[in-house]
Homo-oligomer: A and B are copies of this chain.
Amino acid sequence: MSANVDTIPLVHMISDTPSETVFACASSVEAHMEDFLSKAGLPSNLLDAVRYSVLAGGKRLRPVLTLLSCDAVGGRRADAMNAAAAMELIHAFSLVHDDLPAMDDDCLRRGQPTLHVHAGEAMAILAGDAMMSLAFELVSGAHGDDKARCSAVTVELARGTTSMIGGQVYDTLGGFPDGMGDRERLELIHRNKTGALIRVACRIGGICGEADAKQLDALTRYGEAVGLMFQIVDDLLDVTQSSEHLGKTAGKDETAGKLTFPSTIGLERSQAEVQRLLEVAREAVAPLGEPAGGLQELAGYLAVRTK
């Protein structure tokens, strides 16, 4: 059987349930985070708050991308585990802070009360902060990874996190360069707010798997396409699905008057853009062959997910 991507059954690629492989790799990251957090020496109430936010479910998209990207370049998952856990901590921190009353003021996340509702606003601010510093400890080299690789991963993680925060600023507070139209602004928001961390999740997985320049470039292009696609699907779900189904408040973007793909280019063109980006993502990692099968499958799932 050839290693060509076309041998992967299409039915897997467009399934709206990720396969067991994807689930299995998410649970290994959860176990790793659980172990790391229990040894981090946090005050008991802070540990509870971090665990509440981090271990309460979610798709684990970013750490899964990291592990699958490591697979895709023939690396060992064990070498990417700290980086994968760090990706999820950064993502979880951003959700906790974005949900705060002064920000999106949201009370529901992953089907549970948001952290500031559960543990108070001061704790939500501090637990979010701690998740970020814990993430940087994970990739710092404190836990036995190769030092030069840790440095490269830390560069990616730091820049990705700053870009994500910048994206949230654009989305909620403006600060755009002069003369940008709505479509340009929308892409700038998404490229930073969601895209940067998804791109970095893929690159970090590649770096941990000792990708060469060509492989890293393929993962980068995959991550960029999947990142933008993810956000367009998110915008579409916000319009088309219920809060109960999503486990978070639906219809929020419209209420808040936010720039979204459906509001800027319409539902149909948004859906077409998802299909186009899926193709870009699949083609980007096609040269990596069979080891990139996980990434192929995940992209397909992300294009048709309903939550």
Q: Are A46 and B165 in contact (CB under 8 A)?
A: yes
Decide if A23 is an interface residue (CB 8 Å cutoff): no
A162 touches B40 (CB 8 A): yes
Q: How many angstroms from the CA of A41 to the CA of B177 in the assembled complex?
A: 11
A residues 231-252 with Cβ under 8 Å of B? none
Q: Does A42 count as interface, using CB distance less than 8 angstroms?
A: yes
Q: Contact: B162 with A42, CB < 8 Å?
A: yes
**Interface presence of A150 (CB below 8 A):** yes
A110 / chain B contacts, CB cutoff of 8 Å = none
Q: Are A100 and B129 in contact (CB under 8 A)?
A: no
Copies of this chain assembled into the complex: 2
Which candidate, A131-139, A201-209, A282-290, is the interface stretch facing chain B? A131-139
Partner of A43, one of B125, B140, B151, B170: B170
Question: Measured between alpha carbons, how far is A141 from B41 in the docked complex, in Å?
Answer: 27
Q: Is the CB of A44 within 8 A of B125?
A: no
Do A43 and B159 have beta carbons less than 8 Å apart?
no
A69 at the interface (CB under 8 A from B): no
Closest Cβ neighbor of A192 among chain B residues? B43
Q: Is A58 an interface residue (CB 8 A)?
A: no
A46 to B192, CA, bound (A): 14
Chain B residues whose C-beta falls within 8 Å of the C-beta of A152 in the assembled complex: 141
Report the separation of the CA atoms of residues A46 and B134 in the bound assembly, to the nearest whole angstrom.
24
Cβ-defined contact, A45 with B174, below 8 A: yes
Interface: A265 (CB within 8 A) = no
- Contact A166–B125 (Cβ < 8 Å): no
Give A153-210 interface residues, CB cut-off 8 Å to B.
154-155, 157-159, 161-163, 165-166, 168-170, 172-177
A55 sits at the interface (CB 8 A): no
Are B166 and A42 in contact, CB atoms less than 8 angstroms apart?
A: yes
A123 at the interface (CB under 8 A from B): yes
- Residues from chain B with a CB closer than 8 A to the CB of A128 are 129
Check A103/B129 contact, CB under 8 A, given A147-B147, A155-B142, A157-B136.
Answer: no
Q: Tell whether A272 is near chain B: CB-to-CB under 8 Å.
A: no
Contact of A165 with B129 in the complex, beta carbons under 8 Å = yes
* Beta-carbon contact of A130 and B166 below 8 Å: yes
**Contact partner, A162, options B122, B130, B170, B173, Cβ 8 Å:** B130
Q: Does A121 interact with chain B (Cβ within 8 Å)?
A: yes
With beta carbons under 8 angstroms apart, the residue of B137, B158, B173 that contacts A142 is: B158
**Cβ contact within 8 Å between B132 and A132:** yes
